[in-house]
Amino acid sequence: MRELYPPIEPHDAGHLDVGEGQRIYWEISGNPAGAPVVFVHGGPGGGTGPAQRRYFDPDKYRIILFDQRGCGRSTPHIADGADLTVNTTDRLVADMEKLREHVGVDRWLVFGGSWGSTLSLVYAQAHRERVTGLILRGIFLLRRSEIDWYYNGGAGHIFPEQWDRFLAPVPESERVGDLVEAYHRLLRSDDRAVATDAAIAWSSWEAATSYLLPRPDQIEENEDPRFALAFAGIENHYFRNSGFLEKNQLLADAHLLAGIPGVIVQGRYDVVCPATSAWELHKAWPDATLTIVDDAGHSAAEPGIIHHLVEATDRFASPPES
């Protein structure tokens, strides 16, 4: 089984002013002359961390990480009252283009999982000439059926004890409607304690359901109030707005990916983003190979997911000779 590459530190980092009062954090590690790759984090609102540099051979890749608007080390942070009205998918795509130009990259490999797969697909469909390939994990097409499955009861049949924790902040009278809307009200409460409790419950739900086997340490990390406020607040904002996408947009526009090589890695028992979406994307985008990992859930940190993602980055770093 392949494992992550050893820990490395960035050799360059900064904040890029992308307008509207937003400054996104970026960093570069690995080989300054290597093949450029950009890591598109999940959530939205999850931010990046040191482990995410380790999916790539540091001798062969110029590894670019960035935190999307409102989270991680980008400013202003949602926990500090950042304006969500300027946080939309088209703006994030524009931010990626500004970052690409800022770091002096003509074309790059795009790597993303979960919401990161969503944003990567939108970016590639809009800027295909800037993409050398796509490596995607835990496919999320941001359709209403996916939102309802995960936030309106479907996944709760598999994790009933965690579902009760997710429901706990919601008044009983609001549990029969759309829980995304119920959480929207709670997360926007003027009472900071109410908003924080809701954010922790929302973030803990995802951490508790992302692994084939429980990871209490990940739940604890997601319960950090500052992280949870960004993670839950930005996710809820995007999900109640259908990701600012047209209905079924990513599959309808899959033809725009023709000619772009891709790898899709999907956990068989992914409850957060069930494998149906990966299968449908694969059928619509035959240039991509699909690997379904039979002993994995959603997280990029599952051993089988790591193995196939690192294999994919190694293949892209060393393309076959013509």
The type of residue at 201 is A
What are the structure tokens assigned to 65, written together?
């990480």
Identify the active-site residue in 117, 270, 277, 282.
Answer: 270
Q: Is 298 a catalytic residue?
A: yes
0.95 exceeded by pTM: yes
How high is the pLDDT of residue 319?
A: 63
Please enumerate in sequence order all residues whose Cβ is within 8 A of that of 59, keeping only pairs 6 or more positions apart, or say none: 30, 31, 34
The mean per-residue pLDDT over the stretch 37-65 comes to 98
Residue 189: band (very low, low, confident or very high) from pLDDT cuts 50, 70, 90: very high
Catalytic option among 29, 74, 114, 120: 114
Report the Cα 75 to chain-centroid distance in Å: 19
State the Cα–Cα distance between residues 175 and 173, nearest whole angstrom. Answer: 6
State yes or no: pLDDT of 56 exceeds 80: yes
Q: How far apart are CA 49 and CA 231, in angstroms?
A: 14
pLDDT over 50 at 322, yes or no: no
To the nearest 10 degrees (0 to 180), the angle between helices 225-240 and 192-209 is 80
Helices (H) and strands (E) in the chain, counts: 11, 8
The pLDDT value recorded for residue 320 is 56
Residues making up the chain, counted from first to last: 322
**177: Cβ–Cβ under 8 A, 6 or more apart, which residues?**
none
pLDDT level of residue 318 (50, 70, 90 thresholds): confident
Angle at 184 between CA 178 and CA 186, to 5 degrees: 110
Percent above pLDDT 70 for the chain:
99
Compute the distance between CA of residue 274 and CA of residue 148 in angstroms, rounded to an integer: 12
pLDDT by residue (tens digit) across 99-150? Answer: 999 999 999 999 999 999 999 999 999 999 999 999 999 999 999 999 999 9
> What is the pLDDT confidence band of residue 225, given thresholds at 50, 70 and 90?
very high
CA atoms within 13 A on the CB side of 66: 29
* pLDDT (mean) for 158-167: 97
Amino acid of residue 36:
P
How confident is the prediction for the chain on average, in pLDDT? 96
Instruction: Return the structure tokens found at 264.
Output: 């899709």
The structure tokens 């924790």 sit at 165
Distances (CA, A) of 207 to 199, 212, 224: 12, 11, 12
Clarify whether 178 is annotated catalytic: no
Asked whether the beta carbons of 223 and 204 are under 8 A apart, the reply is yes
- pLDDT above 90 (res 237): yes
Q: Is 270 annotated as catalytic? A: yes
Rg (CA), the chain: 19
CA–CA gap between residue 253 and residue 273 (Å, rounded): 20
Domains of the chain are 12-142+244-317 (3.40.50.1820), 145-243 (no CATH)
Question: Are 205 and 235 within 8 A, CB to CB?
Answer: no
User: Which among 77, 282, 298, 308 is annotated as catalytic?
Assistant: 298
Q: Per-residue pLDDT averaged across 301-305, rounded? A: 97
